Each structure stands twice: as structure tokens, then as C-alpha cells.
Amino acid sequence: MRNLAVRQADGPVRLMFMAMLCAVLIAAPSAAQSGSDTTLQLPQALHAAVQSSPRFAAAREELAGSEADAMQASLWDNPDLSVDVENFGSDRRGTDQVETTVGISQRVRLGGDLFYARRAADAEVHAARIRAQIVLTDVLATTASEYVLAVAASERVSLQAEVVSLTDQMADAVNRRVEAGRASPIEQQRVEVVTARVRSELVSLQLQQISNLRRLFMMLGEEFSNSTRLEAADALSGIGDLEVLDSDAVDSSLELLLTAAQTDIRRADVGRARADAIPDATVGLGVRRLAGGQDTALVASISLPIPVINRNQGAIAAAGRRETAARLTEGSVRRQLLGDFASSYTEWAAARNELDAIRTRILPAAERSFESARMAYHEGQIDLLNFLDVQRQFFELRAGAIDAAARVHLATIQIDLLTGGTRLRALADAHQLEASR
């Protein structure tokens, strides 16, 4: 009767497990049926994300537009062609008194208008180039982060599958002991609860794995395929020695370089506003056909505004204020980056210390304890609860090592993002060079 009660109580648990398993099977794409596994590496993923990124493509178009603006800024104004006809409406009949003047005039910019306009346009090009680099680095960092999370999720699934396998073996052993009368049916009930729990956790981890993989493939611009095997993100471990970095490393931050470029734009605006205060001259030259004959004469003109009221003083003051604001913003951004760098570096150091401790000291001891407990349980020296507690602690430590490794990689990505993203770009470029060989 007790065994029957256990099976009846376990029925809802089994139904719940089967429902979650069906959800996993539905979420898995039909590509899994192809049977051809492929391998994806981090540099390959970074390169694919850049090639398929619409954000980076849009940033490159914006850069090309800024370069076209710079070309336009260096051009002179077009000359003006004028035709003046005089005396054609007089009381005298005929056209002998008509005088016609054909001339051409050109605006001549004084005060260095073209120089400062081109300087401001070049500063805009430089800022657009940095913005494109920011978009590129953000795409790389986001892709690398999604890759790290997907790898960690896959490792957690593999680890949990190992837990399920061991638990199934334990359940079989307990069932045999109960049937032989060497163990209480209570142990069978306990191990069935543990089995249902670890299987439920496996389903949850599989769903999380599918979610992580879908986000990663979305960044790559490819159709999701759960037949793709991700290699470990060990390439992030070789992108530089973070221990030698200090707070001055943020001087290479693209965000800081962008604010410096915006300061250069404001400085060029000041020069352009001062140049606009100097009036531009308009010179003209033409030919006039005199009335009553075939005689012609040259006509020359020059005009120059008199700056007695509008000396562009308001625009000059506004440009100066904006340059000061840009300088202050540059200092503010640097302070923010220093704080972010300190936080990310602390997180990286803490995660790496935890990972080293787990791998070198804690996990080997836990593994020895687990093996000893398994032998002791089979020999009847410890009960089931004590063995399950040792097993849970061992696999929790292994899961902790996976999580710590992921945090190390994520902090590494964030630090590289704060210091210019040169390491991530080097990884993407390395795959391109490898593919071109």
C-alpha cells in the first residue's frame, strides 16, 4: 500500500515533467533533425555579427554622409550671372536708347570662412568615425556577452544531465535495496522526489539554453539551429593582461574620444562664428552696350556690408559657451568612466579569485568527498540523506565554477568596452585574416 501511495503521489510530478519536456521539444527547431552538427567559435561569431549588423551599416552610411558634407564645405559659392536692360520703356520710339549690361559677380569669403567651415566639417567626420567605432564595439561586446551566456547555459545543461544520470543510477540502486529489504521504502520516496526535481531543473536549463542560443543567433543574423556546438570562450582569456591596467586606460575609451571630438567641433564653431563676423565682399565684372551705337564699356562693381549693427556677437558668445560646456562634459564623462572601470575591474578580480579558488582548492576537495561518500553509501556506512547532501554540494560547486567563469568573461568584455574595445576588434579581425588564408 505504501509503494502504491508513493506512485500515486508521484503521478502529478511525472505529468508536470512530461509537460515541460514537450515544451522543450516544441521550442527546438526542426534544424535539429538534420543531424549535422556545426561548431561555432567566438571570433567567428564576432565577425558574423559585424557583417550582418544593420546598426553598423547605418553608422557607416552616416560616416559617408559626413565625409560628403566635408567635401561640400570646402566649395566656393557659384558665381551669379546678371543681365540688366535699361531705357527700354522710355517715351522715345525704337531701341536706340536701350542699354544692356551683362555681368558676372562672385562672393568672396573673407576672414577664413572656408577654412573654418572645412575644419568644422572635418571635426564632424572625425566624430562620425568614432560613433561608427562605438557602434562596432557595442555590437562586438553584445555578441561576445551573448556568446558567453550561451556557452554557460550549455555547460549548465551538460552538468545537469550528469546529475540526472547519477540520480537515475541512485534510484535504481535504491529500488534494488528496497526490493531486497535492505532499505526503507522512505528512501525510495526520497530518491523519487529528488529525481523529479533534478529532471525539472534540467528542463528549465534546456529552455534557458534555447533562449540564449536564439538571442545569439539573432545577433549573428542567422537562423537558429540547436545543432550548433559552441566552443568555450577561452579566446577572451588571451585578449590582454587586465592586471596591468590602471585608471588611465579609460583615456582610450571611445566615449571619451567622442566627447573630445565634440569639443573640437565646438572649437571649430567658435572660429567659424568669428569668421562670419567679417563681412564677405561681392565683386562683379560685366560688359555694357551703350545706347545709340555699337560702343561697349567694361563695368566693375564691389559691395561690402558695413558691420555697424550685426557683428555676429551673439553667435560668437553662444559658440564660446557651447565650447566650455563641451569641455565640462568631457571631464564629466571621464569621471563616469573611471567609476565604471573601477566597478568592472573589481567584479573581474572578485570573479577570477572565486574561480581560481573553486578550481584549485575547493572543487578537488569536494570531488574527493563526493567519491568517498558514494563508496560509503554503497557500503552502507552513511545514509541516503548524507550522500545526497554531499552530491548536491559537489555539483553546486561545479555550477558555481561555470557561473564564475562566465562572470570573469563578462567583466573582461565590459573592461575592454570601457578601454576602447581594441581586444574584441582584434578577435573579429583575427577570424577575417584566418578566413582569407
Sorted by sequence, the CB contacts under 8 Å of residue 306 that are 6+ apart come out as 279
Give 5 or 336, the one with higher predicted confidence: 336
User: What pLDDT is recorded for position 169?
Assistant: 84
284-288 long-range Cβ contacts below 8 angstroms, 24+ apart: 284/82, 284/103, 284/104, 284/105, 284/106, 285/103, 285/104, 285/105, 286/82, 286/101, 286/102, 286/103, 286/104, 287/101, 287/102, 287/103, 288/99, 288/100, 288/101
Q: Domain for residue 172, yes or no?
A: yes
Which residue from 284, 415, 299, 287 is spatially nearest to 349, judged by alpha carbons? Answer: 415
- Look up residue 234 and give its DSSP letter: G
User: What pLDDT is recorded for position 360?
Assistant: 92
pTM equals 0.80
Q: How many Cβ atoms from other residues are within 10 Å of residue 109's Cβ?
A: 18
Per-residue confidence at 245, pLDDT binned at 50, 70, 90?
low
| CA dist 243 → 81, 238, 345, 357 (Å) | 69, 13, 9, 18
* Helix, strand, coil percent content, the chain, rounded in steps of 5: 75, 10, 20
Q: Residue with C-alpha cell 526520497?
A: 190
Q: Domain for residue 35, yes or no?
A: no
Q: How many Cβ atoms from other residues are within 10 Å of residue 197's Cβ?
A: 14
- Domain interval for residue 163: 12-26+40-436
Q: Is a pLDDT exceeding 50 seen at residue 247? A: yes
Phi-psi sector, 305: left (phi>0), alpha (psi -120 to 50), beta: beta
Which residue from 310, 317, 307 is spatially nearest to 270, judged by alpha carbons? Answer: 317
The whole-chain average pLDDT of the chain stands at 83
Which residue from 268, 3, 249, 15 is spatially nearest to 123, judged by alpha carbons? Answer: 268
Q: The domain spanning residue 140 has which CATH number?
A: 1.20.1600.10
| Per-residue pLDDT tens digits for 266-315 | 999 999 999 888 888 999 999 988 876 678 889 998 998 888 888 889 99
Q: Domain for residue 5, yes or no?
A: no
Percent of the chain topping pLDDT 70: 85
Q: Domain for residue 7, yes or no?
A: no
Per-residue confidence at 246, pLDDT binned at 50, 70, 90?
low
Q: Is a pLDDT exceeding 70 seen at residue 155? A: yes
Q: Is 215 exposed, middle or buried (0-12, 13-18, 19+ CB in 10 A)?
A: middle
User: What pLDDT is recorded for position 29?
Assistant: 41
Q: How many Cα atoms occupy the beta-carbon half-sphere of 193 within 13 Å? A: 11
Handedness of CA 105, 107, 108, 110 (dihedral sign): positive
Q: Domain for residue 4, yes or no?
A: no
| Number of domains observed in the structure of the chain | 1
Q: Domain for residue 34, yes or no?
A: no
Q: Domain for residue 200, yes or no?
A: yes
| Per-residue pLDDT tens digits for 376-404 | 877 778 777 888 888 889 999 999 999 99
CA distance 349 to 407: 10
Q: Domain for residue 347, yes or no?
A: yes
Q: Is a pLDDT exceeding 80 seen at residue 94? A: no
CA distance 294 to 273: 49
Q: Is a pLDDT exceeding 50 seen at residue 18? A: no
Q: Is a pLDDT exceeding 80 seen at residue 25? A: no
